[in-house]
Chains A and B, each alone.
Chain A
Amino acid sequence: MAPILGIMASQVTGHLWAPTGAYDSIATTTVGAGGASSVDFTSIPSTYTHLQVRYLARGSFSGNEIQIRMRLNSDTGNNYARHLLEGDGSTAAAYATASGSLMALGSIPAATGTASAFGAGVVDILDYANTSKYKTSRTLSGQDRNGAGTIDLASSLWMNTNAVTTVSVFPDSGNFSQYSIVALYGIKGA
């Protein structure tokens, strides 16, 4: 079966199939021993109504945790807005950026964070193939390190009407660590 997507991340393993059904696995990347600066899903078909990204990840950044980010169609311009509602186990806080160069998903454990702990996220990218609307994502994400960590509800806007054909997920600094996994799914409408 011919692969329909390309995976651009270096030092990753992934395998592809041509999916059918209402909720399909489009592609999955598992990061190898060398780490990866990002996981990029390219040539995403427009045959679904929504996309969902599911990840379990850890970073190599030299700290306890690192932010995890997303860009669409490799756009690095200041065309994104974002809101986060975040809890750290004692305080709830809200953050927003009206004009930024990326989407915010939350954070993941990093090099000095609890060993073997990985952060997770479920990201919905709604009506991604529509060419009349800006694109909105919503995220539930978090990382717990038994005494530290964060839980996030995030929403981001890409102020562009282009159909989304590429999704890039990456840590704000450093690489994804080995065993990080990022999966892309497509959800069909009736």
Chain B
Amino acid sequence: MANTYVAIATQTLGSAAASVTFSSIPATYTDLVLVSVAGTTTGAPNTFLQLNGDTATNYSIRAIIGNGSTASSGAVNNSSQFYIDYNAMPDQTLGTTVNVCNIMNYANSTTYKTILVRANAASRGTDGIVGLWRSTSAVTSLLIKPASSTFLASSTFSLYGIASA
């Protein structure tokens, strides 16, 4: 019997790192789920995600944001990366932010790719994000990086695959 929800890979940083990459992702699943529990060495920068090494302005996102007092919405169009948090960014305290990013039907070569994200930061609030990558290519690699600074040592990034019947 096939496993449906499969851990593909986990990276736990042994030292601070500018980015994390998952490459050679198999096309055998329907959706991917990236779970990040990360911190940054300075500041509270946004977290970026790029697919297949694409650095062109093929990404866009819409976000809904709750910061503890108000709800708001924001967007980034024609971007060179996904924002996988908008207000709920990681900071220097590991474990206070959790990010779950769904990359839907990532292996098909017909549709643009859509992501759905829940980002949560204890000190800043919670985000819901939808994003579009305007490419029909199957996703084979992910690069996650902070907009500035570096990820803290002991940050964890886990990639799961969800299979379908």
The bracket for how many chain B residues form the interface is: 35 or more
The residue from B60, B71, B110 contacting A85, defined by CB atoms under 8 A apart:
B71
A residues 150-173 touching B (CB-CB < 8 Å): 150-153
The residue from B1, B72, B118 contacting A140, defined by CB atoms under 8 A apart:
B118
CA distance A89 to B61 in the complex (A): 8
The answer to whether B128 touches A142 (Cβ under 8 A) is: yes
Whether a CB of chain A sits under 8 angstroms from the CB of B121 is no
Whether a CB of chain B sits under 8 angstroms from the CB of A24 is yes
Q: Which residue of A lies closest to B160 (CB)?
A: A23
Number of interface residues of A (CB under 8 A): 51
Give every chain A residue within 8 A of B132 (Cβ-Cβ): 114, 117, 144-146, 149
CA distance A119 to B132 in the complex (A): 9
Q: Give the shortest distance, in Å, between A119 (CB) and chain B (any CB).
A: 7
Whether a CB of chain A sits under 8 angstroms from the CB of B102 is yes
Give every chain B residue within 8 A of A118 (Cβ-Cβ): 104-105, 111-112, 114
New contact pairs (16) apart from A147-B75, A151-B130, CB-CB < 8 Å: A15-B165, A19-B1, A20-B1, A25-B165, A54-B30, A87-B64, A92-B71, A116-B134, A118-B105, A140-B118, A142-B128, A144-B114, A144-B132, A147-B77, A153-B128, A179-B111
Q: What 7 A-B pairs come out closest when comparing CB atoms? A: A142-B130, A87-B73, A89-B75, A87-B64, A144-B132, A146-B60, A92-B71
Q: Using CB atoms and an 8 Å cutoff, list the residues of chain A in contact with chain B.
A: 14-17, 19-28, 54, 56, 58, 85-92, 94, 114, 116-122, 140-147, 149-153, 179, 181, 183, 185
